[in-house]
Amino acid sequence: MSAYGGAIVLASGELRFRPQSFSYCGHCDQYFMSCTCHGIPHAHDFNFKCLPRPPDGSTPQMLLRRWCSCVAQSSSMGRFEALKWYRDHSSAKLRAMANKRDALNDMVEEYVARLPSDPHLPLLAKAIGIRGAPAEGAPRLAREARSAAASFVAGDWATVTRVGALLLNNAFQSSDCDRYPLADDELAEVFSAIDTLNKVLGLGYSDVGWCLAIENDRAPHVTPAAPGASGRFRDVSAAPPQNTQCRCGSTTHKRTNHSSCPLNPKKTQRART
């Protein structure tokens, strides 16, 4: 067990801390009580800063337990019962993620190779703040997809950005059904884990928070080290809220029946209160 600034890291990887002491706005970097950002849903787009780093040698189980601790402390994501999910599902998910690491990496590489011609590239580029030609976003999105895959498999979900989780989801959904069949129980477990991560981050981050992660100031705890920290998009200003209709085609949703598209911005946004 180690303690840092009022936060305690248990041997299991669990974090115990007072969330109000470590909550900062992901846009202005101000302490949550000092944030004056407008146009963002209440309690959204915050991240936890200055938490103690995971101890050297942290296992995927420990890192995933850390993520669950942070989710449980989040005002927006806390509605997801992360600790119960960990008890019920983490062992099967982590085992499948380890066994299907190469398959997931192949899916991601195939997906990023298609990104320059992907019909959704303009929306994805806008999500990460690209103001110029959408093609300028493809290399950044490719780096983010690879980093997200490394953090995901390592169990360090706290460093996966919302757009990173979406890219993993898109890579899986648009993959070859014959090469990666969901009839494979372990692939199904991996997809379920990606879906869980994607949905939980959707609870916490708004349509201008695609580049944020729960621990946005910490580099991923993966081996080999992933390039950059999760906050690597901070050199790009966030895209303003958009009230466009969803223009999702069949590619993203061809393998599962989603009731809503993560690229569809919410219609209403309000200032923090």
* 4/221 Cα distance (integer angstroms): 18
> Residue 31: its pLDDT value, please?
82
**Residue 177: is its pLDDT beyond 80?**
yes
Which amino acid, residue 228?
Answer: G
Mean local confidence (pLDDT), 147-168: 98
> Residue 235: its pLDDT value, please?
39
Mean local confidence (pLDDT), 9-27: 81
Closest listed residue to residue 203, CA positions, set 24, 101, 82, 62? 82
Q: What average pLDDT does the structure give for the chain? A: 82
> Residue 99: its pLDDT value, please?
98
Where is average pLDDT lowest: 62-66, 94-98, 262-266?
A: 262-266
* 32/84 Cα distance (integer angstroms): 28
* 171/157 Cα distance (integer angstroms): 17
**Residue 244: is its pLDDT beyond 70?**
no
Closest listed residue to residue 218, CA positions, set 161, 137, 142? 161
**Residue 262: is its pLDDT beyond 50?**
no
Task: Please name the residue that has the structure tokens 């959704």.
Answer: 120
Residue 2 lies in a domain: no
> Residue 64: its pLDDT value, please?
98
The pTM (predicted TM-score) of the whole model is 0.80
Mean local confidence (pLDDT), 55-60: 93
Give 272's pLDDT tier (boundaries 50, 70, 90): very low
The burial of 172, by beta-carbon neighbours within 10 Å (0-12 exposed, 13-18 middle, 19 or more buried), is given as buried
- DSSP sequence for 47-64: EE-SPPPPPTT--HHHHH
DSSP 31: B
Give 62's pLDDT tier (boundaries 50, 70, 90): very high
Mean local confidence (pLDDT), 43-47: 89
Residue 182 lies in a domain: yes
> Residue 37: its pLDDT value, please?
87
**Residue 113: is its pLDDT beyond 80?**
yes
> Which structural domain range is residue 103 located in?
55-253
Most confident of 88-92, 228-232, 248-252: 88-92
Residue 158 lies in a domain: yes
Residue 72 lies in a domain: yes
* 143/137 Cα distance (integer angstroms): 10
> Residue 224: its pLDDT value, please?
60
Residue 132 lies in a domain: yes
Task: Please name the residue that has the structure tokens 């999760």.
Answer: 230
Residue 43 lies in a domain: no
**Residue 231: is its pLDDT beyond 80?**
no
DSSP 122: H
Residue 243 lies in a domain: yes
Residue 106 lies in a domain: yes
- As for how many domains the chain has, the answer is 1
* 146/22 Cα distance (integer angstroms): 28
DSSP 184: S
**Residue 71: is its pLDDT beyond 90?**
yes
Give 241's pLDDT tier (boundaries 50, 70, 90): very low
> Residue 30: its pLDDT value, please?
86
